[in-house]
Chains A and B, each alone.
Chain A
Amino acid sequence: MKITQISVFLENRKGRLFDVCSLLGENNINIRALTIAETESFGVLRIVVDKSNMAVKLLKDNGFVANLTHVVAVEVGDNPGGLASVLKVFADNDVNIEYMYGFVEKFSDKALLVFRFADTDMAQQILAKNEIKVVTEKEIEGL
């Protein structure tokens, strides 16, 4: 089950991250997970929000360069070795991870991680086969 991530291009300018966050805040959009990929001269903000279609429209309307990407939110045991056991499944099945980051809050007693896979469909099949729980878009909206 894919969920939607919003990527926002951030040029290296003071207050640009604040601009994104305050715009979302003013419109009552809640950020559930976020990470920033930074390079020498710019960054790409990746966020999972509760109302992604509305958020991406809002960002574009306000002049931000934003785009939707499919990612998968995976439940991982919140205990030592929890992440490792999931990663082992990926490694054993040749599932390539491009990047990953954590959710701000928990959905259950488990930790929730966002994965961007090179091949999302294949990753989903492997996850299903190994009975690893993924979180749906609907569940994210209800968080």
Chain B
Amino acid sequence: MSALIETRDLWHVYSDGTVSLRGVNFKAMRGEVTVLLGPNGAGKTTLLLHLNGLLKPTRGEVLFEGKPVSYDKRNLTELRRRVGFIFQNADDQIVAPTVWQEVAFGPKNLGLSDAEVAERVREALNWVGLEGFEERLCNMLSIGERQKLAIAGVLAMHPDVILMDEPTASLDNFGLNSVLNVVRRLKAEGKTLIISTHDIDFAFRVADKFVVLHNGKIVHNGSHLPLETARKFGLRMFDALWKR
């Protein structure tokens, strides 16, 4: 089985000289949930930004369906149509004043007709449980509702791959379960998911594959994650339960 999206010898150096990724060889298989783990600053978000074409590699390449990504406008548009990115902070993702406009934004940019856009918006809002919210102002939504809106905004584009950057950060247990349901439903629909988190509990409940990043390198890659490896690389664990 070949990878749907992958990187080869990926390096990224920010303009201030910070080396964020050091020769990362990453693969995500079609239909799988790949969880990126690692402490803060490990390079998880940087890697995700490369997979959607929002960052260009300093060295190395990103491949989608076996073909290297080229950074001209047409190819980037096609990549971003197939690979959706849900930001860590929903506020960073919301660009429109009202809920309807926010969800319609992506489909509109794909050149769909007004009728198709309206249908996709209706579908996406129903999917996340925000039907009836169409005319609400985005800044009047709660954090959980904004999170759902961010998901709906990406789902409306019908991507094949969904990148989620720390989707459980700042959520309570109800929010966490809501995200779990979303991930499971998306997987059941055949989507490929790549999720970054440092929440082991969440990772264990959704992952088909664990990839651990540390200092810009992959230090573990497999379908199992030994707890000692997790502890060694600073991942948040249910220590309270362990100590009992």
Q: Do A and B bind each other?
A: no
